[in-house]
């Protein structure tokens, strides 16, 4: 989920010109707070949150200028799959 935004931030800071961060989480309020914190730290990167369960199909609209895509699935999430 988006609770790993600190890990995502670390990763994005090492990429050349990241364009967007698209976190997914079941908690709308948690997403709202995470995106707010993220925008304060990396205002040049678009942040568009998706509320939902990533174990189900989610339609995600990628930015039009997307040339390459990196999917980050934090290992801490795996414990929730038991």
Question: Which of 14, 26, 20, 73 has the alpha carbon at shortest distance from 47?
Answer: 20
Q: Mean of the per-residue pLDDT values for the chain?
A: 81
Percent of the chain with pLDDT over 90: 20
Model confidence at 6, pLDDT cuts 50, 70, 90, reads confident
| pTM for the structure as a whole | 0.74
In tens, the pLDDT along 11-29 reads 899 998 888 888 888 889 9
**Do residues 42 and 20 lie in contact, with contact meaning Cβ atoms separated by under 8 Å?**
no
DSSP annotation of 8 reads H
Burial class (CB in 10 A: 0-12, 13-18, 19+), 20: middle
Is the confidence at residue 38, as pLDDT, over 80? yes
DSSP tally for the chain: helices H, then strands E: 2, 4
Pull the structure tokens for residue 71.
């999917």
């Amino acid at each position: 989920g988006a609770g790993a935004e600190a890990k995502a931030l670390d990763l994005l800071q090492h990429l050349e010109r990241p364009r967007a961060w698209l976190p997914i989480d079941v908690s709308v309020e948690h997403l709202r707070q995470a995106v707010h914190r993220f925008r304060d730290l990396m205002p040049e990167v678009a942040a568009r949150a998706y509320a939902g369960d990533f174990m189900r199909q989610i339609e995600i609209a990628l930015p039009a200028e997307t040339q390459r895509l990196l999917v980050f699935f934090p290992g801490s999430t795996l414990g929730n799959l038991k």
